[in-house]
Amino acid sequence: MTVRRLVLLGPPGSGKSTQARRASGWLGVPHISTGQMLRRAAEAGTPVGRAAAPFVRRGTLVPDDVVVSLLAANLTDEGFVLDGFPRDVGQALSLEGIVPEGPDLTVHLALPEPEVVRRLGGRVACARGHTYHLEDRPPAVDGVCDVDAEPLAVREDDRPPAVLERLKTYRLETEAVLDHYRSRRLLVDVDGSGLPDDVTERILGVLRA
């Protein structure tokens, strides 16, 4: 299957960023993470970042006018691996407004909630979004990213109150996006549990099919 426009869906902690980064490498198309773009904008203190920061901190959705324009400014006709967008059906329709062909494929990384909570509880990340788990996948050197030697920290929204809010948002808003793409026969469910390499193999299996 030739895929140039791939969307990764799944709850927080399901491995979207890790898998999106890898998929972007195989497919030769840009990895676009709205969460990462918003965090960078917040760190840089841009107007977009300042508008988004309180929502990101609480674990609720940043308003569409902010996110959709940020996305539109970053999509090119090279294609994409989207990670973190669309988060609700309105955003799925906005994506079709920006890219009328829509995605070629959407992959749902399925993960049960108790495993989401366990994964986010032990997660640390660098500013560029490389993530580790203190038990499952610790960095080689404590507190330092293996890839870019940047310091590792717990994301503020990986702390308990924001995690619960993110899970609620996922259940109430994002799960409907799965049905949106399923009914268009564009969705494949992939088991997101286990090691990142195993999940990668499952995704590759879908892309090779």
Instruction: Give catalytic residues, as residue numbers.
Output: 16, 87, 123, 155, 166
Q: How far apart are CA 76 and CA 170, in angstroms?
A: 27
Q: How many residues does the structure list for the chain?
A: 209
Closest approach of Cβ 164 to ligand AMP, in Å? Answer: 12
Closest approach of Cβ 45 to ligand AMP, in Å? Answer: 17
Q: Contact 12/163 with Cβ under 8 angstroms?
A: yes
User: Which span sits near ligand AMP by CB under 6 A: 83-91, 100-108, 181-189, 197-205?
Assistant: 83-91
Q: Tokens in use for 202?
A: 């499952």
Q: Is the peptide bond before 47 cis (omega within 30 degrees of 0)?
A: no
Q: Report the residue from 62, 125, 152, 177 that binds ligand AMP according to the rule CB under 6 A.
A: 62
Q: Report the residue from 85, 132, 170, 181 that binds ligand AMP according to the rule CB under 6 A.
A: 85
Q: Report the residue from 84, 103, 139, 192 that binds ligand AMP according to the rule CB under 6 A.
A: 84
Query: Helix axis angle, 47-58 relative to 160-169, nearest 10°?
Result: 100
Closest approach of Cβ 95 to ligand AMP, in Å? Answer: 10
Please tell me whether residue 166 binds ligand AMP under the rule CB under 6 A.
Answer: yes
Q: Report the residue from 14, 91, 94, 131 that binds ligand AMP according to the rule CB under 6 A.
A: 91
Please tell me whether residue 61 binds ligand AMP under the rule CB under 6 A.
Answer: yes
Q: Report the residue from 42, 80, 157, 187 that binds ligand AMP according to the rule CB under 6 A.
A: 157
Q: Report the residue from 9, 48, 56, 203 that binds ligand AMP according to the rule CB under 6 A.
A: 56
Q: What values do phi and psi take at 80, rounded to 5?
A: -165, 155
Handedness of CA 69, 74, 77, 83 (dihedral sign): negative
Q: How far apart are CA 174 and CA 77, in angstroms?
A: 26
Please tell me whether residue 49 binds ligand AMP under the rule CB under 6 A.
Answer: no
What is the separation, in whole angstroms, between the first and last Cα of the chain?
6
Q: How far apart are CA 112 and CA 154, in angstroms?
A: 22
Residues of this chain that interact with ligand AMP (CB under 6 A) are 12, 34-35, 38, 55-56, 59-62, 67, 84-85, 87, 91, 157, 166
